Amino acid sequence: LPRQTDVTVIGANFDFLPNPVCLFGEDEVPAQRVSNTMLTCGVPFISTLKTVYFTVLDRARQVEVNMGSNLTFAFVERPSINTIYPQIIVAESTRTLTVNGEGLALLSGVQCRLGSLQVEAVHVGGAQRQLECTFGSTLKEGQHQLKVFSNFGTMTSSKAMVQVIAQPELVRIEPRIAVAGANRTITIEGNGFVDTDDIECFFDDLPSRAFFVSGGEMLCSLPSNIRAKKYRVRMSIAGVLGRDFVTIQLVEPASIASLIPSVGERGTLVTVVGTSFHPDMKCRYGAHRHVGLEYVSSTQVRCIVPIDLPDMPIELGLSLANDAASSTSQSFKPIDLSIASISPSFGGVNGGTPVTLDLRDPDAAQFVTHCLFAKTAVPVSSVGARSVTCNSPQSEGGPCKLRVGTTDKHPSIDSSQFDFKAFQFTAMEPSSGPDTGGTLRVLGSGFVVGKGNSTILFEREMASHYNSKLCT
């Protein structure tokens, strides 16, 4: 319904029917004799869907007709097309279109036509409610409307449009190196990409979701179960795998065992020790700060601590293509090792002078382990609330830069000056004096003017009476 259809009746001895008619239930219509074995009759207009008994009679009812068996005729809705899948296919591939609709099981002698190609259709699905049409030849690119030919005539629909496209071209992948198993998205650049939900990326034979961005860009998710190795990445449209591919190298996530030092100034060069390091990795501070590194080996890299880090411990890790999941991390504490003052600022070349360094950062003293006089590192002898004390080493005379460090190999950026003096005594006057004390004049070189008091040690015969005296 609602279209009227001519019915063909096959039988025998129709020449003996002078006035044949067809009876659809209670509706009678005249029949046309085609031959002794064939009649045709029109279908009466029926407004309801129903199945009726079908009979051939003589209009005058003078000749009896043997029907042989009970025949029925069904008044049905006209079969229609609801959807087809896929609606985007690649021109140079063999593709099967699946047609879904209403009443398709009623069709016989079905053929599908797409563009200039026409093929036989096959009933599939439960109760044969679907059709499959397989096109094996090259289709012309562009929009085509699928047409279905059958005993019901020609069927088509505005929903039966198929877009035929050329094979997409893959040009570039970014990043070209990534961490296996990371929850990240890969960008593929190329030509001829189309906006469809029926597109996938394949990493060798591993499928993953794909997302259309533009005709020249697609996004692919890394499969969660992917291993570390080199992969060829292809694109699939409606199940057809493309010829073009780009390659990506997936590596194991890095593991950080230690930071040397783990406490230091901003601007400090930190040695990172661990496994699975890669030259393309970057140093990661927190979740979003990524800066370059110096690659030493797969187990060691060096990172420079940015000078604008906040005054709090921060996680230092490694990242590949700015992916925070590229490695484990270790905590680094930024501190200020600048020196406010030192006392005294000079000492003898023979060393042994206790030197106290006051630090500007109130929390820094607890992390200082060494003082560095030029290139000579000496351990801290005592730690105060905001200061450390170190004994000066032996050295040649002259000024040197004095720094502190959290290890013996990591001096502070800031420095003060310490002066090594070569004291020399040539004479003293008087050479003797009363035990009640007095003034002693010492002659020599290398003395420091205006630097306060010094201690004279009396030796030999007077040592038992006077261990020391102050000298002006």
Task: Give pLDDT tens digits along the chain (472 positions).
Answer: 656 678 899 999 999 888 999 999 888 999 999 999 999 998 888 778 888 999 998 888 887 888 877 888 888 878 889 889 888 888 877 888 999 988 888 888 899 999 888 999 999 876 668 999 998 777 888 899 999 998 888 888 888 899 888 889 999 999 999 888 767 889 999 999 988 888 999 999 999 999 999 999 999 999 888 999 999 999 998 888 888 999 999 998 899 999 999 988 888 899 999 999 999 999 999 877 888 889 999 999 999 998 888 878 999 999 887 777 788 999 999 988 999 999 999 888 889 999 999 999 988 999 999 999 999 999 999 999 999 999 999 998 899 999 999 888 888 888 999 999 877 677 778 877 777 777 777 777 666 655 544 555 544 433 344 444 444 3
Smallest CA-to-CA distance from 220 within 212, 230, 228 is with: 212
* Contacts for 144 with CB less than 8 Å, ≥ 6 apart: 114, 115, 161, 162, 163, 164
Task: Specify the DSSP class assigned to residue 156.
Answer: -
pTM of the model: 0.60
User: Residue 389: beta bridge partners?
Assistant: 356, 382
- The CA-to-CA distance between both ends of the chain, in Å, stands at 129
Q: Which segments of 241-308 does DSSP mark as H helices, in order?
A: none
